[in-house]
Structure 1
């Protein structure tokens, strides 16, 4: 495992690093539209850099109504290195800190490897619901008792 750094990028904007991680896939495939360099992106974003300072992955958290849709993007040459699991665990922590109930992901139509992504999420505790979301319940957190 490399030493990965989790770097907040909120407010986030579209840049060459994000395009490089997508490796030619359209951002629209992931619900990001067709941004140009410098265009703002909604939601909360984090960049993951490896020990050499290279951007290898991104995580996104889109919170609404007590749940959050997540997006895990890993540069193709960094896949199967554990960095995706690192991103997922960090997104889970971020969502739990906010007291959210579930995190979920929808593998989009047109994804180049939907079975692999669906299997990876299932291996990490996500379960498909009746509307096609892959959901994972977050552990209940208890707020400190008030005095």
Structure 2
């Protein structure tokens, strides 16, 4: 099994590593606009590095009104390695710490692989709602009591 490091990016900015993980996909497809090097990115971001220090994935959490939109980006060479599940587990844990209710994702029109991404999220407990979001309740075991 691979070992990955979950590294917070605070503040998050656009850089070549994110571009390489997107592998030529337009950042605007994921609601990021068309950022230039060093441009700030909203929301909370984490970078995932492998044991060699290579960036293999990113996770983003955009919390609002008790829910959070998530984004899981995996470099093409790291797909099917389990790193996407690693990112999703960490995002769920972050949502639990924040006492959020649901995680959701919208597979955008124009995504090159909408069916596999939708199937991947569905297999991990996400269900499509009537507005096209894939939603999953944050597991109660992850929601920590705030004293």
Structure-1-length-normalised TM-score: 0.96
Secondary structure of the structure 2 residue equivalent to 1:125: coil
Say whether the 8 Å CA contact 2:70–2:105 is kept in structure 1: yes
Gaps of 5+ in 1: none
* CA deviation map 1:118-143 (0-9, x unaligned): 00000000000000000000123352
* Structure 2 residues without counterparts, runs of 5 or longer: none
Count how many residue pairs are aligned between Structure 1 and Structure 2: 145
Distance, in Å, in 2 between the alignment partners of 1:78 and 1:70 is 19
Match of 1:6 in 2: 6
Runs of 4+ in structure 1 off by over 3 angstroms are none
Query: Counterpart of 1:76?
Result: 76
- The answer for the alignment partner of 2:145 in structure 1 is 143
Aligned partner of residue 8 in structure 1, secondary structure: strand
Indicate the SS of the match to 2:112.
coil
Counterpart for residue 90 of structure 2: 90
Matched, 1:35 2:35: yes
For the 8 Å contact 2:96–2:138, the answer to whether it is kept is yes
Question: Structure 1, residues 8-54: CA drift from partner, whole Å, max 9, x if none?
Answer: 00210000000000000000000000000000000000000000000
> Is the CA contact (8 Å cut-off) linking 2:22 and 2:73 kept in structure 1?
yes
Q: SS of the counterpart of 1:58?
A: strand
Residue matched to 2:108: 108
CA distance in 2, matches of 1:142, 1:57: 26
